[in-house]
Structure 1
């Protein structure tokens, strides 16, 4: 069989920025083992497969796998990039200046709002799951060793290292400034152990001194549990961070939080998350940068 595939740079306004995502259309005939092998072939942080929905009300079902073959859930760059392709690529049609679609991810069906101007896609906004605040990490020394920093580099004055989920549970680690964020060199085995003990999937390290004064935080993401060395824009971690900042009173409820990520990788990205109580929504854009055909 032949299947079309595309690459989309997510959370980017120009090619070769943001977080690259490979996407395969019409994936219903592919079994899970083949999806995993295709994800390994593309060797991106994640590859998303677009399928017919299995739950009522959903427009499409999305399944996403990392290059080593771990399936990931939550509405992050894996989903936003897929919807940018579907809408900007003309595979689904919007009506008027705003259309709401619905995506099936795992056991959930979540809305996707797409805004248009003169028929062109301008922005995609995706609803996250209700925030779940999990375990905090008490052993700052072990966590610092896993990240390759000093214990005092972890900023415990206002926020604890904590696992938070808005669809995927990630360990959020506050650091004193972005120079320390850029200096991180994780020990994958030690970080894997710390994440396992805390019940987190990935690790989102951040500081509250972003490059741009209009932003809120500066972050990097590492996920040894899924074989991701580093990710340049992680919507499933940005949502939890925004929720935590509001819950802890760092940012007022009703705010839009802007998180900078990918700068250390040379792929600058900005993720916008609005928080209204338990309603968490991620917004962004993308650029279709490549397309081709898989001969299977």
Structure 2
């Protein structure tokens, strides 16, 4: 059979920027093993498959896999890129009332979460996705092994301001505060050692960050590593940006009701800015994308 696929550059305004995502349409005929093999063939950080929903009220069901075949959840670049394709490609239509915003529902894992698509003259301008309610997990007190796993000094970790902590808004990532941006750029993880630390705290990936971003209008500067899913480094990680924004609000570093801008991907030459709004337990990720390529899978 032949199946259409697309590459979407997420959190980008032009091709070859942001975080690339492979998306396969009408994937209901594929079993899980084949989805994993296709994700390995594309060899992107993640590949998203769009399927018919199985839960009431959902518009589409999304399943996402890393190149080594690990299924990932949460509404990050894997979901935002898929919805940009669906909307910009005309696979979903704006509301009949002629309004500028239309709400769809996405099924990811066990949840159905709203997706708001903003249009201007029929063209997609912006997508906003609701995250799961924040869940705050384990914190790490003794950081020597963590520093060694990241290739930095123990006192580079800014425990005076924030504890390293696992936080989830759909996926539980380990948030590690560093003293300054140059230390974030200096991180060189040892995958096996970092995997051991993540197992200890119950985290999926590791989001290192500092609160001195490049742009003064941003909030944080970050990098993401996920050896548990075979991701060496990711250039824009919505499922980690959501937890970080939630933690900054919970710890009163950022006021409740704020919009948090997180810079990521600069160290990889693919700079991205992720926008997250937090009001109470309501966390939403916003962004846009570009359809950079398309083709046909012959299976």
Scaled to the shorter chain, the TM-score interval is over 0.9
- The count of aligned residue pairs is 296
Aligned to 2:30: 30
Which structure 2 residues correspond to residues 8-27 of structure 1 after superposition, within 5 A?
A: 8-27=8-27
Deviation at 1:18, TM superposition (A): 0.3
Instruction: Please state if 1:282 is matched with 2:288.
Output: no
Distance (whole Å) between structure 2 residues aligned to residue 254 and residue 155 of structure 1: 25
* Secondary structure class of the residue paired with 2:228: helix
Aligned to 1:199: 202
Distance (whole Å) between structure 1 residues aligned to residue 15 and residue 253 of structure 2: 34
Distance (whole Å) between structure 2 residues aligned to residue 14 and residue 196 of structure 1: 37
229, 232, 235: which one pairs with 1:226? Answer: 229
When the two chains are superposed, the root-mean-square deviation of aligned CA atoms in Å is 0.4
Q: Deviations over 1:206-232 (max 9, x none)?
A: 000000000000000000000000000
Deviation at 1:138, TM superposition (A): 1.5
122, 125, 128: which one pairs with 1:125? Answer: 128
* Secondary structure class of the residue paired with 1:9: strand
* Structure 1 stretches of 4+ moved >6 Å: none
Q: Deviations over 1:100-120 (max 9, x none)?
A: 000000000000001111111
Aligned to 1:291: 294
Aligned to 1:173: 176
Distance (whole Å) between structure 1 residues aligned to residue 94 and residue 143 of structure 2: 49
* Secondary structure class of the residue paired with 1:225: coil
Deviation at 1:183, TM superposition (A): 0.5
Deviation at 1:63, TM superposition (A): 0.1
Return 5+ residue gaps in structure 1 as ranges. Answer: none
Aligned to 2:150: 147
* Secondary structure class of the residue paired with 1:67: coil
TM-score by length of 2: 0.99
Distance (whole Å) between structure 2 residues aligned to residue 138 and residue 229 of structure 1: 25
Deviation at 1:139, TM superposition (A): 1.8
Aligned to 2:71: 71
Distance (whole Å) between structure 2 residues aligned to residue 49 and residue 209 of structure 1: 36
Aligned to 1:188: 191
Q: Deviations over 1:163-222 (max 9, x none)?
A: 000000000000001100000000000000000000000000000000000000000000
* Secondary structure class of the residue paired with 1:236: helix
Aligned to 2:94: 94
Distance (whole Å) between structure 2 residues aligned to residue 210 and residue 124 of structure 1: 24
Deviation at 1:158, TM superposition (A): 1.1
Deviation at 1:157, TM superposition (A): 1.2
Return 5+ residue gaps in structure 2 as ranges. Answer: none
* Secondary structure class of the residue paired with 1:226: coil
Distance (whole Å) between structure 1 residues aligned to residue 234 and residue 220 of structure 2: 16
* Secondary structure class of the residue paired with 1:220: strand
